[in-house]
Amino acid sequence: MKNTKPKFNQIIDAAVEVIAMNGYHSSQVSKIAKKAGVADGTIYLYFKNKEDILVSLFQEKMGQFIERIEQEIAEKNNAEEKLLELIQLHFRQLGANLPLAIVTQLELRQSNPDLRKKINDVLKRYLTVIDSIIEEGIEEKLFQENLNKKLVRQMIFGTIDETVTNWVMKDHKYSLVGQAEEVHELLVNGISKR
């Protein structure tokens, strides 16, 4: 299965490396082709245009990312545990793959609106996972029943996202996954004293 479309994956992996190392604006198609060990023209046999490389990259990498989260979460017993697992997996997967983290947190955000829209389509699946945890938590009476679900989702995603971005931008020398429990605790219980 992995050997299906070997060039396709070769090119996507090259793109991640090149963008992480050089930044989005210095990642010309020719540079990606060189890193992938193919000719410039070959790229266009597998991708419609440059933007399509990036969209595919995101679909491919985030697809696996989300899939794994969906699987692992299914095994947890309640919404709180699922939320913790989601945070931990999010942090673990990006924390173990700095180039990918750089690309998703920083470089891909410099893209044009069209691309960003397509990236958001991929993200929707992830946001749906968060939504279902929230709903489950409410059903389980773990979470407040009158929560504004959309806002909660934004808080969860915004906090996770900002935490990863900070880790990538600042130092990424401390353990990202080591912060999962604290982040979870904050999201669940807030900052105020009871």
**Residue nearer to DNA on the CB measure, 26 or 175:** 26
Residue 94 lies near DNA (rule: CB under 7 A): no
Residue 112 lies near a second copy (rule: CB under 8 A): yes
**Residue nearer to a second copy on the CB measure, 48 or 150:** 150
**Cα 100 to Cα 107: distance, rounded to the nearest angstrom:** 10
With CB under 8 A as the contact rule, the residue among 110, 121, 124, 128 that binds a second copy is 110
Residue 40 lies near DNA (rule: CB under 7 A): yes
**Cα 69 to Cα 73: distance, rounded to the nearest angstrom:** 6
With CB under 7 A as the contact rule, the residue among 15, 18, 20, 29 that binds DNA is 29
**Cα 100 to Cα 33: distance, rounded to the nearest angstrom:** 18
> Considering CB under 8 A, how many residues would be counted as binding a second copy?
46
With CB under 8 A as the contact rule, the residue among 3, 4, 144, 173 that binds a second copy is 144
Which stretch, 40-48, 66-74, 118-126, 131-139, contacts DNA (CB under 7 A)? 40-48
Residue 115 lies near DNA (rule: CB under 7 A): no
Window 30 to 89, contacts with a second copy (CB under 8 A): 80
**Cα 149 to Cα 136: distance, rounded to the nearest angstrom:** 11
Instruction: Please state the length of the chain.
Output: 194
Q: Is the dihedral of CA 190, 120, 70, 18 positive or negative?
A: negative
The tokens describing 191, both together, are 């900052």
For residues 164 and 90, the answer to whether their CB atoms sit within 8 Å is: yes
Residue 26 lies near DNA (rule: CB under 7 A): yes
**Cα 35 to Cα 69: distance, rounded to the nearest angstrom:** 30
**Residue nearer to a second copy on the CB measure, 3 or 189:** 189
**Cα 174 to Cα 179: distance, rounded to the nearest angstrom:** 9
**Cα 39 to Cα 49: distance, rounded to the nearest angstrom:** 14
Give contact residues for DNA (rule: CB under 7 A). 7, 25-30, 38-45, 49-51
Give contact residues for a second copy (rule: CB under 8 A). 23-25, 80, 106, 109-113, 116, 120, 134, 137, 141-144, 147-148, 150-152, 154-155, 157-163, 166, 169, 179, 182-183, 186-194
